[in-house]
A and B are shown apart, each in its own frame.
Chain A
Amino acid sequence: MREYILRRVLQLIPTLILISIVSFTIIQLPPGDYVTTYVANLAAAGEELSEEEIAALEEHYGLNQPGYIQYIKWITNFVQGDMGLSFYWDRPVNRLIGERLMLTMIMSFFTLLFVYAMAIPIGIYSAVRQYSLADYVFTFIGFIGLATPNFLLALIFMYIGIKVFDASAGGLFSTEYLDADWSVAKVWDMLKHMWLPVVIVGTAGTAGTIRVMRATTLDELGRPYVETARSKGLREGQLTMKYPVRVALNPILSTIGWRLPEIVSGTVLVALVLNLPTTGPLLWRALMSQDLYLAASMIMILSTLTLIGTLISDILLAWVDPRIRYGERGTT
Chain B
Amino acid sequence: MDTLLEVRNLQTHFFMAEGVAKAVDSTTFSIRRGQVLGVVGESGCGKSVTARSIMRMVRPPGHTVDGEILYSRPDQDGQGASIDLLQLPATGTEMRAIRGGEIAMIFQEPRASLSPVHRIGDQITENILLHQEVSPSEAEEIAVDMLRQVHIPLAEQRLDAFAHQLSGGMCQRVMIAMALSCHPSLLIADEPTTALDVTTEAQILELMQGLQADLHMAIMFITHDLGVVADMADEVAVMYLGKVVEQGAAADIFRDPKHPYTIALLESLPRMDQRREWLQTIRGVVPDPYSTLSGCPFHPRCADFIEGVCDEIVPEPITLEDGREVRCLLYTEHAHQERPPVAEDASHS
CB pair B114 A231 closer than 8 Å: no
Residues on the B chain within 8 Å of A234, using CB? 96, 100, 126, 130
B91 within 8 Å of A by Cβ?
A: yes
Q: Tell me the chain A residues, 235-272 only, with Cβ under 8 Å from chain B.
A: 235-236, 242-243, 246-247, 250
* B 91-150 contacts with A by CB, 8 A: 91, 95-101, 104-105, 107-109, 112-118, 123, 126-127, 130-131
By the criterion CB–CB under 8 Å, are B107 and A224 in contact? yes
Binary contact readout A218-231 vs B (1 if CB under 8 angstroms, 0 otherwise): 00000111011111
Chain A residues near B55: list those with CB within 8 A. Answer: 230-231
Docked-complex contact A232 and B112, CB < 8 angstroms: no
Residue numbers in A under 8 Å from B57 (CB-CB): 227, 230-231
Rounded to whole Å, the gap between the CB of B106 and the closest CB of chain A is 8
B175 in contact (CB, < 8 A)? yes
Complex-state Cα separation, A227 to B112, whole angstroms:
10
- Nearest-neighbour CB distance to chain A for B309, whole angstroms, equals 42
Q: Does A235 lie within 8 Å of B96, measured CB to CB?
A: yes
> Please, which residues of chain A bring their CB within 8 A of the CB of B95?
233
Cross-interface CB contact of A232 among B91, B100, B117, B118, cutoff 8 Å: B100
Within 8 A of A (CB), among B147-196: 175, 178-179
Contacts of A247 in B (CB 8 A): 115-117
Prevailing SS type, chain A contact patch: helix
- B107 to chain A: closest residue by CB: A224
Contact A231 B100 (CB under 8 A): yes
* Known A227-B107, A228-B175; contact A233-B115, beta-carbon cutoff 8 A: no
Across chains A and B, the number of contacting residue pairs, with CB separation under 8 Å, is 66
The CB with the most chain B CB atoms within 10 A, among A227, A229, A231, A250, is that of: A231
Query: Is A232's CB under 8 angstroms from B126's CB?
Result: yes
- Chain B's closest residue to A247 (CB) is B117
Contact A231 B117 (CB under 8 A): no
Nearest A residue (CB) for B51: A231
Q: Tell me the minimal C-beta distance from A91 to chain B in angstroms.
A: 53
Knowing A232-B126, A232-B130, the reply to whether A225 touches B99 (Cβ < 8 A) is: no
The one of A225, A229, A233, A236 in contact with B116, judged by C-beta atoms closer than 8 angstroms, is: A225
Q: Which listed residue, A223, A233, A242, A243, touches B99 by the CB 8 Å rule?
A: A233
A242 contact set on B, CB distance < 8 A: 118
Using known A-B contacts A232-B99, A233-B97, determine if residue A225 contacts B113 with beta carbons closer than 8 Å: yes
Q: A224, A236, A243, A250: which contacts B112 (Cβ < 8 A)?
A: A224
> How many angstroms between the C-alpha atoms of A222 and B112 in the bound complex?
11
- Kindly name the residue among A223, A233, A247 whose own CB sees the greatest number of chain B CB atoms within 10 A: A233
Distance in Å: Cβ of B71 to nearest Cβ of chain A: 14
Q: Which residues of B contact A225 (CB under 8 A)?
A: 112-116
Asked, given contacts A224-B109, A224-B112, A228-B175, whether A233 binds B101 with beta carbons under 8 Å apart, the answer is yes
Q: CB distance B127 to A232 under 8 Å?
A: yes
* Structural contact, A233 and B131, CB atoms closer than 8 A: yes
Is B104's CB under 8 angstroms from A231's CB? yes
Q: How far is the CB of B295 from chain A (nearest CB, A)?
A: 35
Are A229 and B115 neighbours in the complex by a CB distance under 8 Å? yes
On chain A, the residues within 8 Å of B175 by CB distance are: 228
CB-based contact A235/B91 at 8 Å? yes
A250 touches B113 (CB 8 A): no
Q: B113–A236 contact, CB under 8 A?
A: no
The interface residues of chain B lying within 8 Å CB-to-CB of A228 are 105, 107, 113-115, 123, 175, 178
Give the chain B neighbours of A246 by CB distance below 8 A: 115, 117-118
Determine the residue in chain A with the shortest Cβ distance to B188: A231
Cβ–Cβ contact A233 & B100, under 8 A: yes
Q: In whole angstroms, how far apart are the Cα atoms of A66 and B112 in the complex?
A: 63
**How far does the alpha carbon of A143 sit from the alpha carbon of B136 in the complex, in Å?**
46
Give the docked Cα–Cα distance between A228 and B99 (Å): 11
Which chain B residue lies CB-closest to A244? Answer: B115
A182–B123 alpha-carbon span in the complex (Å): 53
Distance in angstroms between the alpha carbons of A297 and B99 in the assembled complex: 64
Return the CB mask of B249-264 against A: 1 if under 8 Å, else 0.
0000000000000000
Residue of A nearest to B104 (CB): A231
Q: With A and B bound together, what is the CA distance between A229 and B91 in angstroms?
A: 13
Kindly provide the distance from the CB of A57 to the nearest chain B CB, expressed in whole angstroms.
63
Give me the 5 closest cross-chain CB pairs, A-B, nearest first: A233-B100, A232-B100, A233-B96, A233-B99, A224-B112
Known: A224-B107, A228-B123, A233-B130. 18 other contacts (CB 8 A): A224-B108, A224-B109, A224-B113, A225-B116, A227-B113, A229-B115, A230-B99, A231-B55, A232-B99, A232-B127, A233-B96, A233-B97, A233-B99, A234-B96, A235-B91, A235-B96, A242-B118, A247-B115
A-B contact list, 22 entries, CB within 8 Å: A224-B109, A224-B112, A225-B112, A225-B114, A225-B115, A227-B113, A228-B113, A228-B115, A228-B123, A230-B99, A231-B55, A231-B100, A232-B126, A232-B178, A233-B98, A233-B100, A233-B127, A233-B131, A234-B96, A247-B116, A247-B117, A250-B117
